[in-house]
Amino acid sequence: MDSLVFDLINKELERQRHGVELIASENFTSAAVIKAMGSCLTNKYAEGYPGKRYYGGCEVVDQIEQLAIDRVCEIFSAEYANVQPHSGAQANASVFLACLKPGDSFLGFDLSHGGHLSHGSPVNYSGLVYNAHFYGVEEETGTIDMDKVEAKALEVKPKLIVCGASAYSRDWDYARFRAIADKVGALLMADIAHPAGLIAAKELNDPIPHCHIVTSTTHKTLRGPRGGIIVMGKDFENPWGRTTKKGEAIMMSSVLNSGVFPGMQGGPLEHVIAAKAVAFGEVLDPSFTTYAKQVKSNAQAMAKSLVEKGYGIISGGTDNHLMLIDLRSKFPDLNGRQAENALIQADITINKNMVPFDSRSAFVTSGIRIGTAAITTRGFVEQDCLQVVEWMDEVLNNFEDEKKLAGIRSEVNQYMQKFPLYENELTAV
């Protein structure tokens, strides 16, 4: 064994065990998911799709990949799924490649208002290759005004409209987005990377009946391995006007499959696909609904308590697992970077995040983003979340007092001993 690497992995395991994880995009997979990811499947090349591969010896991985496809279709009542994207960004890139030509216009949610890098940021392929336009939130409400989205769509005539975000705490009106897309002749894609687990548990609006295409990561609220997926509902057979040279309709599903492979990726990661299948099996278990309800309820408890303590939450609260805190309401001189650094000294992990109409840069920010997916997996209920808010408030009130922060860290570490993580299930060596 390579002790240098495995000692570090064990160190990371200890860090995860004794801290409070509030990064909204993180979670703790089951030991079974980790076992599948660390399996011999990593040795196998399987370019292509089940039953149509470019390599021999794919009989077993075909069954594994089909299991992942069937399970994810069952979760989302989908008609089509591609489980090969290595990440959410790769899933999005594959859809763009399949649906747009370089220079085509699309409309996405502004990154500085809570959108995602892969939805048109000028430093990302999506903004470099395509002509990105944006809608955002209203300064007064922190929510999206759908009439303004419609006006923007009518103005820029996008080929594709993207809904979904990485820092937006409200639910999405997919039906209205579809009406707008239909009005301007655009395809509609929802990126549900963040709320996927809550959608799977029917705790949030369902995009599948309304969106032509839905992409997601598998490792956030869905609690699987790091990776991506693409799913489609009834639109999977939609030929959207494309035909072969012989005049036969090309199905959207095959255009998307080609977008992933060979368009964007090479060989699929069958060990990760197996881990996705395991995680999807867990999502189909009724206990996952209990988990998803608790994630939401924990987020609401935290938001309420933070507001009571004088913190500004963008949009005033949350419908999902996350919230964006505008630090300026309580601490005009404390920025997101300082807050992140102080909280990490107390073993509370969050990320600094720009708030809409931020007066500070993305490297400094006026906000922090927190989420409850990971702590809920640890077993936290509302009263534990209120304790976390107490610690956060104490840290932010004393962000330069190292002694105080060390004291809070001891309390946090002791508290976390009540919530074992991978006990007797996992060590790196």
Residue whose entry in the numeric block shows the structure tokens 């991985």 = 61
Q: If binding is defined by CB under 6 A, does position 25 make contact with ligand DSN? A: yes
Q: Which of 166, 265, 318, 320 binds ligand DSN (CB under 6 A)?
A: 166
Alpha carbon 183 to chain centroid, angstroms: 29
Q: Could you give the C-alpha distances from 210 to 73, 205, 248, 326, in angstroms and in order? A: 16, 10, 26, 32
Peptide bond into 195 cis (omega under 30): no
199 close to 206: Cβ distance less than 8 angstroms:
yes
Question: Would you call 231 helix, strand, or coil by DSSP?
Answer: strand
CB of 163 to ligand DSN, least distance (A): 15
Tokens of 316: 């005033």
Question: Would you call 201 helix, strand, or coil by DSSP?
Answer: coil
CB of 220 to ligand DSN, least distance (A): 7
H helix intervals, 210-262 = 252-258
CB of 88 to ligand DSN, least distance (A): 6
What's phi and psi for 152, nearest 5 deg?
Answer: -65, -40
Q: If binding is defined by CB under 6 A, does position 216 make contact with ligand DSN? A: no
Residue type present at position 284 = L
Residues 108-127 that bind ligand DSN (CB under 6 A): 116
Which residue in 17, 35, 44, 47 is the catalytic one? 47
Q: If binding is defined by CB under 6 A, does position 221 make contact with ligand DSN? A: no
Known catalytic residue at 215: no
CB of 221 to ligand DSN, least distance (A): 11
CA atoms within 13 A on the CB side of 268: 33
Known catalytic residue at 47: yes
Q: If binding is defined by CB under 6 A, does position 300 make contact with ligand DSN? A: no
Q: If binding is defined by CB under 6 A, does position 353 make contact with ligand DSN? A: no
CB of 70 to ligand DSN, least distance (A): 27
Q: If binding is defined by CB under 6 A, does position 169 make contact with ligand DSN? A: no
Nearer to ligand DSN, 166 or 335 (CB): 166
Which residue in 35, 176, 226, 330 is the catalytic one? 226
Binding site for ligand DSN (CB under 6 A): 25, 88, 116, 166
**Active-site positions?**
45, 47, 191, 217, 220, 226
